[in-house]
Amino acid sequence: MRTRPATPADAAAIALIYNQGIEDRVATFETAPRNAEQIAPWFESKLPIVVVVGDADDVVGWAAAFAYADRCCYAGIGEFSVYVRRDQRGRGVGEAAMQALLVASETHGLWKLLSRAFPENRASLALIDRLGFKQIGVHEKHGRLEGVWRDCVIVEKLIDKNLF
C-alpha cells in the first residue's frame, strides 16, 4: 500500500469509493451517487487530494481537503473527507490517506484541517483521534438523513508549522 497525490484520472475510483460511503449511510448526509464527472471539479481548487493505492495498483482509499469558506481569512483552513473502499476497511488505509493529506496540507500552507463525523461512526472518530485531532464540540441536529435528525462531532487539527 502506498499513497500519492490524486489526479483527475482517479476521479472514477474516488467516486466508486465515495458511493460506497454514501450507500452505507454512516459518513455523509449525501444520498445521491456521484460519477467521475462530478468528482473532476474537485481538482480545480488545487487543494490537496491524495489516494491510497493497493497491491494491485488500484485506488483503495482517498482523502481530500476542500475550501472551508469563501472568505479570504479562512483560506488556510481545509475541510477534509476521507473514505476507504469497503473491502479494504480496517487495514490502515484511512490512516495512510490521512497521514498523506496532513503532509500535503502542510506543504500547501494550510494551518488547520477540520471536519464533522457522525457520533456513530466510531471507526472515523478513532482514526482522527489517533492522528491528534481534537473533538471540539457537537453540532446538534445538524441535518436530516432519510428523515432522521443527525448530530455531528466537530473535529480539528492545527498544522503548527503553518501558524505564523
At 12-36, the pLDDT tens digits run 999 999 999 999 999 999 999 999 9
Residue 5 to residue 50: CA distance in whole angstroms: 4
10 secondary structure, DSSP code: G
pLDDT in tens, 35-78: 999 999 999 999 999 999 999 999 999 999 999 999 999 999 99
In the prediction, which pLDDT does 71 show? 96
Percent of the chain residues past pLDDT 90, beyond the cut: 99
Percent of the chain residues past pLDDT 70, beyond the cut: 100
Secondary structure (3-state) at 59: strand
Task: Look at the block and give the residue holding cell 488505509.
Answer: 93
Q: Are 138 and 154 in contact (CB under 8 A)?
A: yes
Q: Average the pLDDT over 123-145 and give the result.
A: 97
Q: Are 10 and 40 in contact (CB under 8 A)?
A: no
In the prediction, which pLDDT does 164 show? 83
H-state helical runs in 54-114: 93-108
Residue 121 to residue 29: CA distance in whole angstroms: 13
Q: Are 16 and 76 in contact (CB under 8 A)?
A: no
The pTM (predicted TM-score) of the whole model is: 0.95
Those residues with Cβ within 8 angstroms of residue 11's Cβ, 6 or more apart along the chain or in another chain: 36, 37, 39, 40, 42, 43
User: Within 13 Å, how many C-alpha atoms sit on residue 72's CB side?
Assistant: 0
